[in-house]
Amino acid sequence: MNGEVRDLREVIREEMLMRDKIAGILKDGPRTVPEIAQALGHPSWEVMYWVMGMRKYGYVSETGDVTEEGYHRYRVVAREGN
């Protein structure tokens, strides 16, 4: 589904690089992982790592609603302590 399979470690390492780009995309409103992937031009499974890493460390959270296609939307949140 996503073309090239990159090494997991390499994808995860790029979270730090992609964080600001994803936050920039989400400034325009909540997005699903496939929508963010399309905006970034990266496969959804890679974006999944970045968004879930950001979620784990308090940069984004799910909005609570699920699209008809079955996807959560994510939005930028203010990090505790930042």
Partner 1 sequence: MNYDVLVVGSGIGGMESSLKLGDMGYKVLLVEKEPSVGGKMILLSKVFPTLDCASCISTPKMAATWHHPNVDVMIYSEVEKIKRNREGGFKVRVRRKPTFVKQALCTGCRQCETACNVAVPDQYNFGLVARRAAHIAFPQAVPKKAVIERKGSSPCLFACPAGVKAHGYVALARAGKFDEAFNLVLEDTPLVGSLGRACFALCEAECARGVLEGPVSIRRIKRFIADRYYRLHPEPDHKAPEDLNGKKVAIVGSGPAGLTAAFHLARKGYKVKIFEAAAKPGGMLRLGIPAYRIPRDVVDRDIKNVTALGVEIETGVRVENIQDLKNQGFEAVFIAAGCQGAAKLGVPGEDLAGVFYGVDFLRKMNLGEAVSLGQRVAVIGGGNVAMDTARSALRLGAREVRVYCLEKEGELFASPGEVEAARREGVKIHHARGVRLIKGEHGSVTGLVTVAVKSVFDENGRFNPVYIDGTEEETAADSVIVSIGQRAVLNFTGGLEELTGANGRLAVDPDTLATPVPGVFAGGDVVTGPSLIVKAGGQGRRAAFFIDRYLRGEALEGAGFDYRLPVVDKEEVMARQQSYKTLVPVEKKEILKERPDDFTEVEIPLTEEEARYSAGRCLDCGVCSQCLQCVAACPAKAVDMEMKEETVEAEVSSVIVSTGFRLFPADAKPQYGYGKFRNVITGMEMDRLLAPTRPYNTILRPGDGKVPESVAFILCTGSRDQTVNNRLCSRICCMYSLKHNQLIMGALPLADVTVYYIDIRAFSKGYEEFYRQAKGMGANFVKGRVAKVEEKENGNLILHYEDIDNGGKLSRAEHDLVVLSVGLLPNTEYMNLFDGEELEPDEFFYVKEADEDLNPGKTGIDGVFVAGTASGAKDIPDSILHAGAAAAQAAAHVERMRRGQ
Comparison of 28 and 69: residue with beta carbon closer to partner 1: 69
Contact with partner 1 (CB under 8 A) among 29, 37, 60, 68: 37
Q: Can you name the residues that pair with 31 across neighbouring β-strands?
A: 74
Binding site residues, partner 1, CB under 8 A: 1-2, 4-10, 12-17, 19-20, 32-34, 37, 44-45, 48-49, 51-53, 55-58, 62, 66, 69-72, 79, 81
